[in-house]
Structure 1
Amino acid sequence: MISSFALRKHAILAITARVVAGVGGGYASSALLAIAAASALPLSRPEAAILSTLLALICWPVMMILCFSTRTAVHAWGATIAFCLVVGVVAILAGWRP
């Protein structure tokens, strides 16, 4: 039988993993989205920068919601990493040089 302390510890670790995925992964995904959008949009540089920043400001809370709406913390991390990989590839294909 699992003790209540072990269950509490497991719940705390799961929530902490989701918070880190939401905050850290959300920041990374919004930064990559801003880079990809600024590189790929066919607008002038200032307009592309402003629009991509606004998109990134929408992306971060969406990633936080996604991390807490998934079934497990592993799914939250998987979704965050997958989104970062896709947006990173788009940014590189659009001409971004890291």
Structure 2
Amino acid sequence: MKRKASLPLSYRLAVTSRLLAAVVGGYMLASLASVCLTLWLPISRADAVVSGMLSSFVFYLLAVIWCFACRTAARAWFGVLVPSAILATLAGLAYWMAHP
């Protein structure tokens, strides 16, 4: 019997890295976007929280699509971590402005 050729280890690691970027990085991006929208929207606090939470699903979806649409796993991580860093900075700025 012939053995089936398996996929190379580099391919498996690249897919695993993309999966981690999509799941972990996407969750981080979605939660930071939710926090930023909650802090920065000029509406009542309850409406801002609901709007932030509902929009987090869109951010998570876009992050997952981004991670599997990129050519490389490094670009997928870069595309998730850079916006997350920007959103974390904006959230910290909003917190710092509210609590001098």
The question of a shared fold, defined as TM-score above 0.5 by the shorter chain, is answered with yes
Match of 1:42 in 2: 42
Backbone CA RMSD of aligned residues: 1.6
Match of 2:71 in 1: 71
Give the Cα–Cα distance (whole angstroms) in 2 for the partners of residues 91 and 54 of structure 1: 18
Matched residues, number: 93
Match of 1:20 in 2: 20
Q: Which amino acid aligns with 2:59?
A: C
> Structure 2 matches for 1:50-69, cutoff 5 A?
50-69=50-69
Give the Cα–Cα distance (whole angstroms) in 2 for the partners of residues 86 and 52 of structure 1: 16
Match of 2:33 in 1: 33
Deviation for aligned residue 1:94 = 1.8
The percent of aligned pairs where both chains have the same amino acid is: 31
Cα distance per residue 1:5-32 (max 9 Å; x no partner)? 6x62111100000000000000000000
Q: Which amino acid aligns with 1:84?
A: S
Give the Cα–Cα distance (whole angstroms) in 2 for the partners of residues 93 and 84 of structure 1: 14
Give the Cα–Cα distance (whole angstroms) in 2 for the partners of residues 62 and 11 of structure 1: 23
Cα distance per residue 1:56-76 (max 9 Å; x no partner)? 011101100000111100001
Give the Cα–Cα distance (whole angstroms) in 1 for the partners of residues 93 and 39 of structure 2: 9
Q: Which runs of 5+ in 1 are unaligned?
A: none
Q: Which runs of 5+ in 2 are unaligned?
A: none
TM-score, normalised via structure 2 length: 0.86
Say which SS state the counterpart of residue 71 (structure 2) adopts: coil
Give the Cα–Cα distance (whole angstroms) in 2 for the partners of residues 88 and 81 of structure 1: 10
TM-score, normalised via structure 1 length: 0.88
Give the Cα–Cα distance (whole angstroms) in 1 for the partners of residues 94 and 55 of structure 2: 17
